Amino acid sequence: MDTKIVKIEEDNIDQEMIEEAGKIIRSGGLVAFPTETVYGLGGDGLNEASSGKIYAAKGRPSDNPLIVHIAGMEALPKIARKIPVAAQKLAERFWPGPLTMIFEKTDCVPYATTGGLNTVAVRMPSNKIARALIEASGGYIAAPSANLSGKPSPTEARYVIEDMNGRIDMIIDGGAADIGLESTIIDLTGERPIILRPGYITEEMLEDTLGSVEMDKTVIDGNSSQPPKAPGMKYRHYAPKGSLTIVEGHSLAVTEYINTQLEACAEKGIKTGVIATDETKEKYLADCVKSVGKRSDEEVIAKHLFRILREFDDENVQVIYAESFDSRGMGCAIMNRLLKAAGHQVIRL
């Protein structure tokens, strides 16, 4: 398949191009597009065949549900059976934005979109290209992240092109994603709201609106025996090609430990990488040392993490060590992604 690649500027949207992309989605095709979180791989969320194509293009297991993207609140009742007061409050404060809410689905939403579940995940993105595309596509775009299953989510169009060129109809390049991590997911279908995936919207922010909120046990603890709430939570995610290990402990001990490992790798001719911070990047002896930013600036760390994981792939790094991060606030989302990328390999010093 020929994939058309187009550039659109968020502040000067080419409406003709958006109409063309919308037409592709309305007629059952797939378009990758920018959002404020990461790039999405979009198809018509109410069309069973389109969702099937999304799973095929990503190589994603079909029990891993998709998120349906809408552009306005008036679109919600068609796909969500009940809209609890909690959801209205969250929508008022955080939509459009990086928050996904789970509702009981209506019959309009095919099981192909929800991975066989009776619930549907819904998000209203703030990125203007995404919003214009949703409007032009009939109002309901099912979109997972636009990467091949298992790989880090794409935060720039070049990574979408790497994974999806030849597999979908169109890729819209709208520049680098602002946030760089996928949306926070909150399940509102039970007695108490539960965070299924941490993100830019933190537990504290949600509690500020709703009172108490639970965090799903599997979010940080890879060894939790609790079954995952959503099938997708069990799959390997974000993984670089090289083997990634997180090292936790006092900064000096971490640098010393990692450097010892790096020397051993160097002797065997293994290409190494380190995910460091601005404070420590000069201290490592790896072939590729990449800083995610200043340790105190979590927004910058979130924005750089997936790109850096991809860069190690580009440079064929075989063994990667990462420093660990504070898992409070937005750090929870950063550590959740890093732990999944590392397959929960952690050395605690």
Residues in contact with ligand AMP by the rule CB under 6 A: 64-67, 102, 114, 117, 119-121, 144-145, 182, 185, 196, 229-230, 232-233
Picking from 292, 296, 309, 301, the residue whose alpha carbon sits closest to that of residue 334 is 301
Picking from 200, 163, 162, the residue whose alpha carbon sits closest to that of residue 184 is 200
Q: Which is nearer to Mg ion, 129 or 185 (CB)?
A: 185
CA distances from 144 to 60, 297, 335 (A): 10, 27, 21
Q: Choosing among Mg ion, ligand AMP, none, which partner's interface includes residue 194 (Cβ < 5 to 8 Å by kind)? A: none
> Which phi and psi (to 5°) does residue 176 adopt?
-75, 145
Q: Which is nearer to ligand AMP, 65 or 331 (CB)?
A: 65
The residue sitting closest to ligand AMP, measured at its beta carbon, is 232
**Which residues here bind Mg ion, judged by CB under 5 A?**
145
Q: Choosing among Mg ion, ligand AMP, none, which partner's interface includes residue 80 (Cβ < 5 to 8 Å by kind)? A: none
Q: How far is the CB of 45 from ligand AMP (least distance, A)?
A: 11
Note whether 103 and 222 are within 8 A (CB): no
Q: Which is nearer to ligand AMP, 38 or 246 (CB)?
A: 38
Q: Choosing among ligand AMP, Mg ion, none, which partner's interface includes residue 37 (Cβ < 5 to 8 Å by kind)? A: none
What's the CA gap between 174 and 181, in Å, rounded? 16
Q: Which residues are CB-neighbours of 229 under 8 A, at least 6 positions away?
A: 187, 194, 196, 216, 218
Picking from 291, 294, 284, the residue whose alpha carbon sits closest to that of residue 308 is 291
Q: How far is the CB of 154 from Mg ion (least distance, A)?
A: 9
> Which phi and psi (to 5°) does residue 182 adopt?
-65, 165
Q: Which is nearer to Mg ion, 33 or 284 (CB)?
A: 33
Q: How far is the CB of 144 from ligand AMP (least distance, A)?
A: 3
Which helix (H) or strand (E) segment is 233 a member of?
Answer: none
Q: Choosing among ligand AMP, Mg ion, none, which partner's interface includes residue 65 (Cβ < 5 to 8 Å by kind)? A: ligand AMP
Q: Choosing among Mg ion, ligand AMP, none, which partner's interface includes residue 185 (Cβ < 5 to 8 Å by kind)? A: ligand AMP
The residue sitting closest to Mg ion, measured at its beta carbon, is 145
What one-character DSSP code corresponds to residue 218? G
Say what angle helices 15-26 and 128-136 make with each other, to 10 degrees. Answer: 50
Q: Choosing among Mg ion, ligand AMP, none, which partner's interface includes residue 30 (Cβ < 5 to 8 Å by kind)? A: none
In angstroms, how far is the first alpha carbon of the chain from the final one?
Answer: 50
Q: How far is the CB of 153 from Mg ion (least distance, A)?
A: 5
Q: How far is the CB of 15 from Mg ion (least distance, A)?
A: 29
Q: Which is nearer to ligand AMP, 98 or 293 (CB)?
A: 98
Q: Which is nearer to ligand AMP, 236 or 328 (CB)?
A: 236
Picking from 299, 320, 296, 298, the residue whose alpha carbon sits closest to that of residue 308 is 320
Q: How far is the CB of 51 from ligand AMP (least distance, A)?
A: 12
Q: Choosing among Mg ion, ligand AMP, none, which partner's interface includes residue 5 (Cβ < 5 to 8 Å by kind)? A: none
What's the CA gap between 229 and 223, in Å, rounded? 15
Q: How many residues does the chain have?
A: 349
Q: Which is nearer to ligand AMP, 99 or 319 (CB)?
A: 99
Q: How far is the CB of 127 from ligand AMP (least distance, A)?
A: 15
Q: Which is nearer to ligand AMP, 200 or 284 (CB)?
A: 200
Q: How far is the CB of 151 from Mg ion (least distance, A)?
A: 9
Q: What is the DSSP string of 82-126?
A: ---HHHHHHHHHH-SSSEEEEEEB-TTS-HHHHTT-SEEEEE---
